[in-house]
Structure 1
Amino acid sequence: MSGLEPFRIPRKISGNKLTAIMQVRNEEGRYLETLLADLSSFVDEIVIVDDASTDATVAICKASRKVVKLVENEGRLFGCEWRLRQMLWRAAEETEPDWLLAVDADEFYEDAAKAEMRSLINQGEYDWFAFRKYDFWGSATHYREDALWNLHQRPTVALARYLPGYHYAYPQWAQHAPRLPLTCSALPGAQTELRIKHFGWAGSAEERLRKYERHMQFDPDGKWRSLAHYASILDPNPRLVRWEERGISKGE
């Protein structure tokens, strides 16, 4: 647990609404439809910002009954990621949320995490929770683990309580901005052992090459992430570990 003196506002400990927030761009033919169906099984609402997609992404989002707000950018903001994150947060605020779950368009919460979600949001002690995110590589069966790819060893804050009147702010990072406002960390929170499966790198080597080229276009000097990390995207023989599913404990 970490954080300062709790922000002085009553915390609801039952009946809280869970809102997933997500930014998307050109997700047709990837994971979006499956992800929206999966999210719909355990969240109450979904808020999305589309970053000027040129395919059927917007139509796919509109087809989901859980999507209650969809913001469509006219111009792409990939090179100014913090503005995208902030835009998404502001859009979610308009829906009067209780808890916000940050999800990327290629991320899936494991069954144990989905089963635990209501317990996490219907308590009064913590205002955020962190999860372990695993980067699947080249398939849906193995994740990458080495000196540069080990995000799952330090949990990522992805679930936060919304407190009206609290100051939520993102650092002005052009790339790799945190998925939730940095000021959430001043509130009491907890790390969990619950896991997220990230399939952003699970595609072909050609797809990873395109992502590498995109990162180098926007961050050629390695200002927002090390050049060594970018170069490792092209590693032909990364260290991979087989993913093991976990059962759900009785009573969950």
Structure 2
Amino acid sequence: MDADEVFEDGFPPNARALLASETRDVCCFRLYDMWSDSHYREDPYWHAHGIYRPFILRYRPNHRYTWKEHPLHCGRFPSNIFELPSFLSYFRVKHLGWATDSIRQEKYAGYKRLDPSAAYGWKEQYESILDPEPHLVAWRE
């Protein structure tokens, strides 16, 4: 996990049971882009929580892993991990990397500097980062 991501409160006491499988190697969770401590963003540009994405991977030494070769948005795992058996978890991940106005300002400036033509991202999403009135939904444990 990235330093700005945390599992919801119910995860820690259930983690051992979740990871006990010897036959499933990739565990996927829904990621919520938190726009504050108590609300996540949900609109056409911010809907990461609508899909499951990998957060836990068991390393298999005989599997040949491949990586995306991009300078930005290259992913946290090799691009071919879904060749391994996977499963979904109902636990959620809070992504706090958007949770304050100052963080959003920094990230917006960084994307404009590192990817000015949006070659590796989505231009409209970049522009929406500074939306003064995004649609926010209350987080419920």
- Please classify the TM superposition score into its range, dividing by the shorter chain length: over 0.9
Q: 2:126 maps to which residue? A: 230
TM-score, normalisation: structure 2: 0.94
User: Is structure 2 residue 84 aligned with structure 1 residue 183?
Assistant: no
Q: Amino acid of the residue matched to residue 91 of structure 2? A: L
Q: In 2, are the aligned partners of 1:142 and 1:242 still within 8 Å (CA)?
A: yes
Q: Amino acid of the residue matched to residue 228 of structure 1? A: E
Q: Amino acid of the residue matched to residue 50 of structure 2? A: Q
Q: In 2, are the aligned partners of 1:121 and 1:161 still within 8 Å (CA)?
A: no
Structure 1: distance between partners of 2:17 and 2:66: 27
Q: 2:12 maps to which residue? A: 114
Structure 1: distance between partners of 2:136 and 2:103: 18
Structure 1: distance between partners of 2:25 and 2:48: 22
Q: Amino acid of the residue matched to residue 214 of structure 1? A: G
User: Is structure 2 residue 98 aligned with structure 1 residue 201?
Assistant: yes
User: Sequence identity, in percent?
Assistant: 38
> 1:9-158 to 2 correspondence within 5 Å?
103-137=1-35, 139-158=36-55
Structure 2: distance between partners of 1:216 and 1:208: 12
Give secondary structure in 1 for the equivalent of 2:134: coil
Question: 1:114: how far off?
Answer: 2.2
Structure 2: distance between partners of 1:115 and 1:195: 14
Give secondary structure in 1 for the equivalent of 2:33: strand
Give secondary structure in 2 for the equivalent of 1:112: coil
User: What's the C-alpha RMSD, in Å, of the aligned pairs?
Assistant: 1.2
1:13-66 per-residue CA deviation (whole Å, 9 max, x = no partner) reads xxxxxxxxxxxxxxxxxxxxxxxxxxxxxxxxxxxxxxxxxxxxxxxxxxxxxx
Greater RCO (Cα-Cα under 8 Å, separation 6 or more): 2
Q: Amino acid of the residue matched to residue 120 of structure 2? A: W
Structure 2: distance between partners of 1:163 and 1:210: 37
Q: 1:221 maps to which residue? A: 117
Structure 2: distance between partners of 1:113 and 1:182: 26
Structure 1: distance between partners of 2:97 and 2:82: 26
Structure 1: distance between partners of 2:12 and 2:115: 35
Structure 1: distance between partners of 2:103 and 2:16: 36
Runs of at least 5 residues in structure 2 that lack an aligned partner in the other structure: none
Structure 2: distance between partners of 1:189 and 1:206: 36
Question: 1:116: how far off?
Answer: 2.5
Structure 1: distance between partners of 2:103 and 2:89: 31
Runs of at least 5 residues in structure 1 that lack an aligned partner in the other structure: 1-102, 246-252
Question: 1:143: how far off?
Answer: 0.5
Q: Amino acid of the residue matched to residue 179 of structure 1? A: R
Structure 2: distance between partners of 1:211 and 1:195: 23
Give secondary structure in 1 for the equivalent of 2:81: helix
Q: How many residues align?
A: 141
Structure 1: distance between partners of 2:54 and 2:137: 23
Q: Amino acid of the residue matched to residue 19 of structure 2? A: I
Q: Aligned pair in 2 of structure 1 residues 111, 206: CA closer, same or farther (>3 Å)?
A: closer
Q: 2:67 maps to which residue? A: 170
Structure 1: distance between partners of 2:103 and 2:25: 37
Q: In 1, are the aligned partners of 2:97 and 2:103 still within 8 Å (CA)?
A: no
